[in-house]
Amino acid sequence: EHGTERAFTSPLNDEHRQGVFRCAACDNELYKSDTKYESGSGWPSFYAPIEKGAVETSTDYKLVYPRTEVHCAKCGGHLGHVFDDGPQPTGKRYCMNGVAMKFEPKE
């Protein structure tokens, strides 16, 4: 329902092992651990999806200003938002809800 957990409450914030972050609803692969970085925002942040087509975006007008919402390309589940203040090489900050994802460590 497009909600967001409180900042700094997701255990995925502190997940630093190698692996893949997947959609909690449908198991779709979303982000590789090597694209995760510490943004200071309080939510798991990534600079790029695992591959083109893994996530989709739409415009969210719920606040005073428009934001770009990110959702799972497979099931449509709300994942978070993307902003243009991330690190290179993309300059993007995919600020994701931890409850919308699960982590699969590399074996």
Enumerate the active-site residues: 95
Task: Please identify which residue in the block is written with the tokens 């969210």.
Answer: 60
**Alpha carbons 93 and 46: distance in angstroms, whole number:** 6
Tokens for 6, please give them.
Answer: 């409180």
Q: β-strands 93-96, 45-46: how paired?
A: antiparallel
The answer to whether 26 and 74 are in contact (CB under 8 A) is: yes
